[in-house]
Structure 1
Amino acid sequence: MSPARPQRVCVLGATGSVGVNTLDVIERHPDRFELVAISGHRNIERLAQQTRAFQPRWVVVPDDEARHQLQDLLGPVTTDILVGEAALAEVAASPDVDVVMAAIVGSAGLTSSLAAARAGKRLLLANKESLVVAGDLLMRAVAESGAQLLPIDSEHNAIFQCLPAEHRRQGVASVLLTASGGPFLHTPAAQLARVTPAQAVAHPNWSMGAKISVDSASLMNKGLELIEACWLFGLTPADVEVVVHPESIIHSMVRYLDGSVIAQLGTPDMRTPIAYGLGYPERITSGSAPLAFDPTLKLTFDQPDRQRFPCLRLAEEAIAAGGTLPTVLNAANEVSVAAFLDERLGFTDLARINEQTMDRLGTMAVSSVEQLLEVDHRARQVATTVIKEMSA
Structure 2
Amino acid sequence: MTKRIALLGCTGSIGQQTLDVISCHPEKFQITSIAASRISDTLKQQVATYKPKRVGIGGQTEEPFEVSGYEPRPDVVYGNEGLVQLALDPEVDIVVVATSGQHGFAPTLAALKAGKQVALANKEVLVMAGELVTEQAHKSGIQLRPIDSEHSAIWQSLSGEGLANEHGEENWSQANDKVRRLILTASGGPFRSFTKEQMANVTVEQAMKHPNWNMGPKITIDSATLFNKGLEVIEAHWLFGLPYDKVDVVVHSQSIIHSMVEFVDGSVKAQLGTPDMRLPIQYALGYPERLANDYPRLDFTKLRELNFELPDTERFPALRLAYEAGRRGGTYPTVLAAADEEAVRLFHERKITYLGIADLVERTLDAHNPVAHPTLEDIAEADRWARHFASNFSSRGSAASIG
TM-score interval for Structure 1 and Structure 2 normalised by the shorter chain: over 0.9
Aligned to 1:249: 256
Please say if residues 176 and 242 of structure 2, whose CA atoms lie closer than 8 Å, have aligned partners that are also in contact: no
Q: Give the deviation of 1:253 after TM superposition.
A: 0.2
Q: Give the deviation of 1:76 after TM superposition.
A: 7.3
Unaligned runs of 5+ in 1: none
| % identity of equivalent residues | 46
Q: Of residues 229, 236, 243 in structure 2, which corresponds to 1:236? A: 243
Confirm whether residue 377 of structure 1 aligns to residue 372 of structure 2: no
Q: Which moved more, 1:234-243 or 1:288-297?
A: 288-297
Q: Give the deviation of 1:108 after TM superposition.
A: 2.8
State the one-letter code of the partner of 1:198.
Answer: E
Q: Give the deviation of 1:193 after TM superposition.
A: 2.0
Q: Of residues 10, 22, 40 in structure 2, which corresponds to 1:26? A: 22
Aligned to 1:217: 224
Please say if residues 10 and 91 of structure 1, whose CA atoms lie closer than 8 Å, have aligned partners that are also in contact: yes
Aligned to 1:81: 76
Confirm whether residue 304 of structure 1 aligns to residue 311 of structure 2: yes
Confirm whether residue 346 of structure 1 aligns to residue 342 of structure 2: no
Q: Give the deviation of 1:73 after TM superposition.
A: 7.2
Confirm whether residue 105 of structure 1 aligns to residue 100 of structure 2: yes
Aligned to 2:144: 149
Structure 1 pair 65–171 and aligned structure 2 pair: CA distance change class (3 A): closer
Which whole-Å CA distance do the structure 2 matches of 1:363 and 1:307 have between them? 26
Q: Of residues 58, 75, 96 in structure 1, which corresponds to 2:91? A: 96
Q: Of residues 137, 140, 144 in structure 1, which corresponds to 2:132? A: 137
Q: Of residues 284, 287, 291 in structure 2, which corresponds to 1:280? A: 287
State the one-letter code of the partner of 2:52.
Answer: P
Q: Of residues 186, 189, 204 in structure 1, which corresponds to 2:196? A: 189
The total of aligned residue pairs comes to 387
Give the TM-score normalised by structure 1. 0.94
Which whole-Å CA distance do the structure 2 matches of 1:89 and 1:53 have between them? 24
Structure 1 pair 12–297 and aligned structure 2 pair: CA distance change class (3 A): farther
Please say if residues 146 and 284 of structure 2, whose CA atoms lie closer than 8 Å, have aligned partners that are also in contact: yes
Confirm whether residue 175 of structure 1 aligns to residue 179 of structure 2: no
Structure 1 pair 45–297 and aligned structure 2 pair: CA distance change class (3 A): farther
Q: Which moved more, 1:144-153 or 1:132-141?
A: 144-153
Please say if residues 48 and 68 of structure 2, whose CA atoms lie closer than 8 Å, have aligned partners that are also in contact: no
Alpha carbon RMSD of aligned pairs, Å? 1.8
Q: Deviations over 1:179-206 (max 9, x none)?
A: 0001111122102122111211211111
State the one-letter code of the partner of 1:32.
Answer: K
Q: Deviations over 1:52-99 (max 9, x none)?
A: 11000111113556843x416779761122211111111112212110
Q: Give the deviation of 1:276 after TM superposition.
A: 0.5
Q: Give the deviation of 1:106 after TM superposition.
A: 2.6
Confirm whether residue 9 of structure 1 aligns to residue 37 of structure 2: no
SS at 2:95 equivalent: strand
Q: Of residues 30, 37, 42 in structure 1, which corresponds to 2:33? A: 37
Q: Deviations over 1:287-334 (max 9, x none)?
A: 421111104342111110101111110000001111110011111111
Aligned to 2:395: 388
State the one-letter code of the partner of 2:359.
Answer: R
SS at 1:123 equivalent: strand
Q: Of residues 48, 56, 59 in structure 1, which corresponds to 2:44? A: 48
SS at 2:301 equivalent: coil
Q: Deviations over 1:240-297 (max 9, x none)?
A: 1100000000000001121111100000000110110111011113442111110434
Q: Give the deviation of 1:146 after TM superposition.
A: 2.3
Please say if residues 331 and 374 of structure 2, whose CA atoms lie closer than 8 Å, have aligned partners that are also in contact: no
Q: Deviations over 1:149-201 (max 9, x none)?
A: 11110000100111124243342100100000011111221021221112112
Aligned to 2:168: none
Aligned to 1:116: 111
